[in-house]
Amino acid sequence: MIRLVHTIALSVLALALAPAAAEAAPAKRVVKKEHTSVVKRARVAKSYAAGRQHLSARKSRSVVRLAPPRPSFGQLAGLHSAEDELDLKSSVALVIDQDNGQILLRKNDSAVLPIASITKLMTGLVISEAKLPMDETITITQDDVDTEKGSSSRLRVGTALTRGELMHLSLMSSENRAAHALGRTYPGGMSAFVEAMNQKARILGMADTKYVEPTGLSSRNQSSAQDLARLVATASNDKMISELSTSPGHEVEVGRRTLRFGNTNRLVKNPAWDIGLQKTGYISEAGQCLVMQAKVAGRKLIMVFLDSAGKLSRIGDAERVRRWVETNSPTGVPLPNGNTVIRQVNG
């Protein structure tokens, strides 16, 4: 009897404790689940913070890349304050009728500024007039690598091309190593070539012009719009320079590779333009530059744009002049020398 009572008591006690045990087990699982959620949230927060820190670092680096470029010589001289009715973005401009010498537009045209790769027009003219063999092979050497601006080139050291191909790439694509190699291999070497450039400038009456190297990478290569108009007029009569400078593209074989080069002036592919000669140029000290000889409204015009403010603004200035000439008859105030000024702005 006592044993039976003891057994019943144990059973009652077990039944009493069962609900508590049943509730205790889920409680343990909830704690574990809550702990897991806390860990996950901490990891997400840590990852989010790291992501923001990485994004902030990238933004900081981007700010460094977007630092404003060095002002050009024209900007430092205040030439951009000069206004004109065509709203040209170039601080220097000159437009001349090549056949009769009429000056259709001038703006700071006597200012002497760096001319960047417009230099290569004189480089090409000296090489052309020297009558050197265009089929002679010239090898790019370490001497042709740019140490002035650190610019890149697709012509690796050891690349062998003909003088004619180097002329083509220099005038069409403004290839710096090609232009330097042309000067380096001139009879007498680079010093003789630079002297020949300056001598030709003197012969052409380019009194404001000085060259120190054949590429235009040096800001010490300087000229005025008036002088460059003389150069364009002379170079446009050279058939080889005219054809090479206006070529839309050219391919050269370099070992097992075929390299395709394009023209730095997009206007040569524009059917609205009839361009006989052109050359672009840019270094920070010179701004964006462009010289051309083009037929507009039946007239052969020489156009010079120097120190333009934006990447495409020199092209925009040329388009403004073309539309203006096409829609306006050339009338103006006669000058003592017989020329005619349509628009004259001097800053």
* Residues carrying an active site annotation: 117, 120, 174
Please choose, from the candidates 274, 265, 255, 205, the residue with its C-alpha nearest in 3D space to the C-alpha of residue 234.
205
Report the DSSP pairing between strands 340-345 and 103-107.
parallel
Contacts of 190 (CB under 8 A, 6+ apart): 183, 184, 213, 214
Cα 327 → chain centroid = 31
- Side-chain half-sphere of 128: how many Cα atoms within 13 Å? 23
Residue with tokens 């909830």: 30
Residues 172 and 250: beta-carbon distance below 8 Å: yes
Q: For residue 44, give both structure tokens.
A: 């997400």
